[in-house]
Amino acid sequence: MLRRGIPYAGKTHSKDYADKRRFPFTIPLSTSYEHESSTPEEPVDEVPTELVFHFCWSFLSPDDTIALCEAAPLMTAYQSLRRRALSMSEDTLSTLLTPLNPEDEPNIDQDRVDNLSQLLLLCHFDFSILVKLLRGPLVADYLDFERLDSVIDELELCPTHPGQPIHDFQKIRHQLHHGFPMDKEFRCKLKDVKLRNLYDNHSSLDPHQDLVRHNIAKDVQKSFVLCFHRWLFRFLHGLHLSPLGVLIKERYGILKYRQLNDLSSLVLGDNDTGAPNSQLDKKDKNDVPPVYYGNAFTRLCARIWNLRIEYPDDIVYIYKDDIVSAFRRSKYNPSIAIAYAYVFQDLLCIPLGALFGPRDSPGWFCMLSELRAFASANLKELENCTHPLSDSVQFDECEEHPLAKAIADSINKGLDGLWKEHLTFVDDTMMAEIKEHIRISAAASILSAEIIFGTNPEVDAPVSTEKFMKLFSNYCDCLGIDVDGARLLVIYPINKRVDLCQHVNEIITSLDSGERVLVSLVATVLGKLRHAAQILPDGNFLCFHLQESLNKHLERWGVLKGWGKYRKIHLDKASKWALRLMAMCLEDESNPVWTRPLGLLIPRDAHGTPYSDASTTGLGGFCTSLNFQWRCLVADIVGGTAFKPKERGEGDDLHINVLEFVGIIINIYFSILRIIAKKKYDKKFEYDQGFILHCFADNTSALSWMQHASRSKNAVTRNLAQFLLCLLFNANTIIPLAVQGFHVKGVNNERADALSRPKNFPTYNDVFETYSDLKNLQVLDLPHCLIVQLKRCLSLKLIEAPSKKTMTALLRVDVLSLRPSAKN
């Protein structure tokens, strides 16, 4: 029998080994191979033939082993490895038990690879036994678990405020003590694993072989991954293999390389069982824990806004730090790690820390990242802390200019007794404080990272000294967007505008020449637009145009075929015209849509709340705060067009919903004219931080088209949405404006309902008799130029977006010249 004494020799463990054993075998985690005859009802495991030979080897005669090696040459390599393993010295084992120095030059030592392969053989190819033997940084034994438990106990008693991440303390404790996940079984077919080994890695990796090997060497040096002889993959029961890819991005003029572990692609076709992500259910929180970083930027803006309310005369300083090798610090439970394995050149690589690519990595890491931010703001021991790194930071000399005002409302009331809050986006932690508190906040961030992620010479410090910012400043790049804490502005950087403009113009050139566009180029622009949409007025509308075109392409060809390197895609006219509008804004560096008041990006009370409604005979709307009301006959809008509105249920193409959408657009148009007039004539009108407009209607479809009209097959709907987009973009060059749609129940929309029903209320006076509060509102007539544009949009085919000249003329209509008295 194979000797198993070496892995369990008493000399290899410290006295408190039993107390530190944090990876019990009782956790329900496993990986396995399905036999071809398996069914969900009756699963049958398939054991690799090579593993069977391994367990039978001691019972084979010399002639049998010779015959076996001749029949299966792989077993010759196994036999040689076995001989070396059985003669492994205690010195060799001691070397393996000694962690590598992360500060040494990254290198994949082939002798160490061979020794680890021998030790894996001695552990009967059970990776979890190997890891529990080596321990150390592989299982984060350097953490102070008693302190961690007491910290979590304290944080569990701290209140979580609305909008903040929800902390699952049970999962957090489990991950820290046992790795993740909590309960999971990965199953695939052995034949698929063998074919994936032959597939190797994505072709995009080929030009970057040296970079990939260097990256793996860095992970080896930091004890984030263990490497073995590649051919050993055949002996590990339940192993999955995922291909590698690369992502190379330029940041600040420097090319950044990131290794991607592709656990999603079905590289062998639709019946490929070897992609672990397909076995992770996005709807199951145990499989894929939720993340909360999507609102981090908005929360940062709200934090700055409330700081200015609390300290109107103080500059708000913004600071940030990040975690080095972030995902890798979340540990896989060794029993499940082989499901995330990959091969490269002559290596089989099995990760100990989370990879970039698995569906569950962000959720599990962000548990610890958000816990760190929560600890920074709530731990009593960090209330007045210091740290050498934060002590060394200097203050930037801010430009002298008036500080922008932040106005309190029912949502934003200042700090409300909370003087510290840290905002986390994956591994980036952002802080906003006044000068008196910023240094303490930065120190708390560093110390909380050391508590959660540990400090040990065997692993890099969680917060990098080299990357640590040198200045506390009111102006800071946060998640790729510049934030000014003095003027309360958010700016999309000029270099990103230039880059986006280049890609957009490339697409437009292709479309103008009648060519299709590369799928990869559309995806690139879509990604950049999503980022820019955080600032652009109604930027999400632009994103949905491209997203819908991309979705239709992928539905036709499938995800794998649809993402071919040279595959091209058709874009419809609406997408083309939306991109033209984007290009026009990008080419004008001074266009104010790229610099937004911070107050428009956070939840706030509205300055104006217009209501609208529509029927098959009329449309109407009003806004008390902006002092206007209007009504018109449907015939005035649709006359001379092919559009014929129908009642509900009579067909979707010409549905009454379209008229509801027209009513919303007219309401927005009149609101914009009134706001421009206020800016021009009302000296007390404050607009530096923009105007927030909440548009109410009782039709959910029409409201959804303000963002998602590209999903509609109705050309009229898409024309109207395109007109609204142009209106908002051009209006924002005059005054910063944020427009959102909100649903109101029909019973609460009776005033707009009355204005939209000429049969029930033939005149304005009939409306005023029932709703006297409308009598004092100014009555507005629809300008002829607006009616002309609406008639264009009611065409039953896609039309080109209105020109800048047309939109400028629309916005120059003098609202004060419209009739100020009620009419019959």
Q: Which part of the chain is CATH 3.30.420.10?
A: 599-817
Quickly state the pLDDT bin for 376 (edges 50, 70, 90): very high
Question: Using CA atoms, how far apart are residues 619 and 638, in angstroms rounded to an integer?
Answer: 12
Contacts of 203 (CB under 8 A, 6+ apart): none
CA distances from 47 to 4, 26, 35, 239, 240 (A): 21, 22, 9, 11, 14
Sign of CA dihedral 54, 59, 63, 67: negative
What amino acid occupies position 627?
N
CA distances from 799 to 277, 430, 572 (A): 42, 45, 11
DSSP string covering 137-157: GGGTTTS-HHHHHHHHHHHHT
Asked whether the predicted pLDDT for residue 451 surpasses 80, the reply is yes
Question: Using CA atoms, how far apart are residues 246 and 17, in angstroms rounded to an integer?
Answer: 40
Which helix or strand (DSSP H or E) is residue 740 part of?
strand 737-743
Q: How many CB atoms lie within 10 A of CB 10?
A: 6
Asked whether the predicted pLDDT for residue 33 surpasses 80, the reply is no
Q: Are 614 and 663 in contact (CB under 8 A)?
A: yes
Residue in 715, 717, 691, 714 with CA at minimum distance from that of residue 702: 717
Q: How many CB atoms lie within 10 A of CB 819?
A: 10
Strands 489-491 and 595-597: antiparallel
| Residue 564: per-residue pLDDT | 62
SS3 228: strand
| Residue 135: per-residue pLDDT | 85
For residue 507, the Cα-to-chain-centroid distance in whole angstroms is 25
Q: Are 597 and 689 in contact (CB under 8 A)?
A: yes
Asked whether the predicted pLDDT for residue 65 surpasses 60, the reply is yes
| Residue 269: per-residue pLDDT | 86
Provide, rounded to the nearest whole percent, the portion of the chain with pLDDT above 90. 45
13-22, 444-453, 599-608, 753-762: lowest mean pLDDT where? Answer: 13-22
Q: Are 300 and 483 in contact (CB under 8 A)?
A: yes
Structure tokens at 150: 């007491």
Question: Using CA atoms, how far apart are residues 422 and 429, in angstroms rounded to an integer?
Answer: 7
Contacts of 38 (CB under 8 A, 6+ apart): 44
Quickly state the pLDDT bin for 649 (edges 50, 70, 90): very low
Query: What CATH number matches the domain at 293-331+350-489, 1.10.20, 1.10.101, 3.30.70, 3.30.420?
Result: 3.30.70
Question: Crossing angle, helix 110-122 and helix 127-134, to 10 degrees?
Answer: 110
Provide, rounded to the nearest whole percent, the portion of the chain with pLDDT above 70. 89
Question: Using CA atoms, how far apart are residues 668 and 132, in angstroms rounded to an integer?
Answer: 64
Give pLDDT tens digits for 716-746. Answer: 888 898 899 889 989 998 999 999 999 999 8
Asked whether the predicted pLDDT for residue 486 surpasses 80, the reply is yes
Burial of 565 (0-12, 13-18, 19+ CB in 10 A): exposed
Asked whether the predicted pLDDT for residue 650 surpasses 60, the reply is no
Give pLDDT tens digits for 668-727. Answer: 999 999 999 888 887 777 777 889 999 999 999 999 988 877 677 788 888 898 899 889
> Terminal CA-to-CA distance of the chain, rounded, Å?
104
Q: Which part of the chain is CATH 3.30.70?
A: 293-331+350-489
Asked whether the predicted pLDDT for residue 528 surpasses 90, the reply is no
Contacts of 814 (CB under 8 A, 6+ apart): 677
Give pLDDT tens digits for 234-267. Answer: 999 999 999 998 877 766 566 677 788 999 988 8
pTM, entire model: 0.87
Residue 165, preceding bond cis, omega within 30 degrees? Answer: no
Give pLDDT tens digits for 112-156. Answer: 999 999 999 999 999 999 998 888 888 888 888 899 999 999 999
Comparison of pLDDT for 1 and 342, the residue scoring more: 342
Query: What's the mean per-residue pLDDT of the chain?
Result: 85
**Helix ranges, 334-381 (H):** 361-378
Dihedral over alpha carbons 175, 179, 184, 189 (to 10 degrees): 150
Give pLDDT tens digits for 344-372. Answer: 999 999 999 999 889 999 999 999 999 99
Question: Using CA atoms, how far apart are residues 651 and 669, in angstroms rounded to an integer?
Answer: 28
> Which residues are registered as beta bridge partners of 257?
248
100-109, 354-363, 407-416, 560-569: lowest mean pLDDT where? Answer: 560-569
| Residue 251: per-residue pLDDT | 63
CATH architecture of the domain 599-817 equals: 2-Layer Sandwich (3.30)
83-97, 468-482, 573-587, 596-610: lowest mean pLDDT where? Answer: 573-587
